[in-house]
Structures are given as structure tokens and as C-alpha cells.
Amino acid sequence: MLRTEPLPAQAELTAASTAQRILYSSTDVRWNSGVLPVSGTLYLPKGEPPKGGWPLVAWGHGTLGVADSCAPSWALHRPRDATYLNRWLEQGFAVVATDYQGLGGPGPHPYLFWEAEGRSILDSARAVIAAYSGQIANELVITGQSQGSGSSIGASRIVSTYAPELRLRATIATGVIPSFPQGPYRVPEAAPSASGPTRFTMLRLVGGSIPDGGPSADNLVTEKARPLLHLARTACVDEMRGHEQQQSLNMGNAFTLEPGKLETLLLPVTDMSPVRMPAPVFLGTGLADRTVPPRRQYAAVAALCAAGSSVVWKTYSGITHNGIVNAAFDDELRFVRRIFAHESVETNCAAIAEPGLPGTATAGIRFND
């Protein structure tokens, strides 16, 4: 831990007795620049900690952008995420939430690089466990959504070698984005569409996905899309989305390469090889998810199951990419409580089945847009 300071109150985080902005050290794996500071937030529950301290939830957030102003330690957590984190606080867990390397701190943010983001998660846990000895226990649950699903699974993959002193008890991922080219299931995908959204690719261009020595991001975008590239560097994803829609930008008119060639050029940052995970894994998928279609998430589930991991996969009819964060919480809590009670967690790998195309979102559910 390098520094802590009070964090402004956030309406959704009613169960926090302490809210802090933190700065801690980590190590860069994308550009090999050595030790660097990473920012984040820390929340402690109300009341006295149990003997040995509160167990710790380490959170990996979804896509916000790559500009420093998007970091939750600067802008606070989105209401959806803050609601989710507050539920863990209500259950007696301390919560640490990294901004990720380069987001809120010095240097560029390696967007979607699962090992870099995984290190940010593990080092946030190391820092707060050491700094709050007696208040926070070395009993770790890692959870993440969308971009954070890659960082949560990534952190768990490397914990045994990168941070072996951490006692990882469980891993949770929703809106699952890791891809497994060597896995047993191939997603039946069409060729990359020219009509698809551009903002995530723009973030990749400025977030380290262009190979070292490759063309500059400016040379890969059209004149029409230059203002969006500027927003990728300086603004957050919601502002990018608004500009993208207003200017009718798509994958066909925003880049100088056609979608398939552009994808081939960029580093495959979400790719992983199937390995047996060191702790039980809970994966949650909304069957109305059109951002990361259920079949892609099923491919990740099948790969982790094939590698011998202890996996529980739950699907939720009518739930979207945004909605899954809170829709899965009750099942996640039961999963974690069983592990902490030293009860067996029965994998459902033998019963998983390929889902269909994304369904219709159920109306009237908060955040389920």
C-alpha cells in the first residue's frame, strides 16, 4: 500500500463503514515497465470484524473507458456496480476494487489484457490484507463482470505463481468474455460484421492491442472516426456510445481496414488456454445478453470444464449483459457460503448444454437494459 485517503460517500454503498481511495504497487506485464502504482477503492463493512478479520471480495469492473477520468476511484462506481458491491458488504465481506493498471494511475491502460488486469486484482488484495492486518483476513473471493470477467479468471489462473501467499477460496465471473481457441466448443459465428459497434475496438487501439511496432491507431481510423478516437483517449464509454450513434459510425466506416483484417492485426487479448482453476468457479450468463452472446460464454464454460475445473454455471432467462451483475448475486452468495462452510461444491459440467440465440430482456428489472 502506497497511500490511502477518504473517498466521497456514494448513495448506493450504505453498508460501508469506511470508504477509501487507495494507491498500491503492481508490476506491468504488457510493456514490461517494472513496478508501477495502481489506484482503486476499499470498503469495510459496518460493525466489528470477526476474529481474524473480514473475508475479502476483490472486484474487477466492466468496460468504462481507458481515460483516467473513467476510473471508479475518481468518478465513483456506477450505480449498478455499487449496488452489487454493497450487497457483499451487507454480508460481512470487505471489498477492494482495483481501477486496473493505467486507469486512474500513470501509464496507458492495457484494456482487456487479462494477465495485466489479473495482477492489478491480486496486488490490490495483497495491499489491503497487509495494510489492514486483523481487520481483513487472507480469505479471498475474486469476482468480475464483462471486462472484469477476464481479469477475475485471469487473476485466478496466475495466483499460484504470482501471489501464492493469497488464499483464494472462490472465483466468480459474469458476462464472461475470455475466449478459448483450444477449447472443445467452437462458437458458430459469421464473418465480422461491418455494421457492428466501434467503441470497443477503438478502446483496444489505444489500450495496447496494436502489436509493438505495428501501425499507429491514427492510421487505422478514417477521417469520419477521428473524433471518436479522440474520445477513446479522453472520455468514457457512455460518451463514446453517444457520439458513435449520433454519427452513425460502424465497423465498416470507422476503420481503414475491413473488420476481419483489423481483427487479425490486433493482439488476441481475451484468448486463454484451458487450465484447471485452483479454486471453484461460478459463472453466470444472462440468456438475453447481446453484448457477449450466451454461446460465446458457453464456450468458456465448456473449456474450463474440459480442463477439470470445478465449475458451476448458471443461466438466467430474460437477463441482459448489464442485468446479470445483480441477478446472479443470490446464487453467488450461496456458492461462496458453501465454500466457506467447507461444504462440497458440486460442478454441473456434465449437464451444461449449448444455449440458443439471445432472448428477449425481461422488463421491470433494475439495471436490466
pLDDT number for residue 188: 84
248-262: average pLDDT: 95
264-286: average pLDDT: 97
DSSP string for 233-279: HHS-HHHHHHHHHHTT--TTTSBSS-HHHHHHHS--TTB------SS
Residue matched to cell numbers 502504482 = 37
165-178: average pLDDT: 98
Q: Map residue 80 onto helix, strand or coil.
A: helix
pLDDT tens for each residue of 330-357:
999 999 999 999 999 999 999 999 999 9
**C-alpha closest to that of 354 among 309, 315, 325:** 315
Question: Which residues, in sequence order, are CB contacts of 157 under 8 Å at separation 6+?
Answer: 114, 115, 118, 272, 275, 277
266-280: average pLDDT: 97
CA distance 254 to 224: 7
Between 105 and 320, residue with greater pLDDT = 320
CA distance 99 to 7: 14
Computed over every residue of the chain, the mean pLDDT equals 96
Q: Is the pLDDT of residue 326 over 90?
A: yes
Question: Which residues, in sequence order, are CB contacts of 260 under 8 Å at separation 6+?
Answer: 191, 192
Q: Is the pLDDT of residue 138 over 70?
A: yes
pLDDT number for residue 122: 98
pLDDT number for residue 107: 86
R_g of the chain, CA atoms, integer Å? 20
pLDDT tens for each residue of 14-42:
999 999 999 999 999 999 999 999 999 99
What percentage of the chain reaches a pLDDT higher than 90? 96
pLDDT number for residue 192: 66
Q: Is the pLDDT of residue 260 over 80?
A: yes
pLDDT number for residue 190: 64
Domain 3-181+270-351 has CATH 3.40.50.1820: yes
pLDDT number for residue 297: 98
Domain range list for the chain: 3-181+270-351, 199-265
Whether 281 and 353 have beta carbons less than 8 Å apart is answered as no
pLDDT number for residue 193: 72
Cell of 205: 487501439
pLDDT tens for each residue of 191-234:
667 778 999 999 999 999 999 999 999 999 999 999 999 999 99
pLDDT number for residue 37: 98
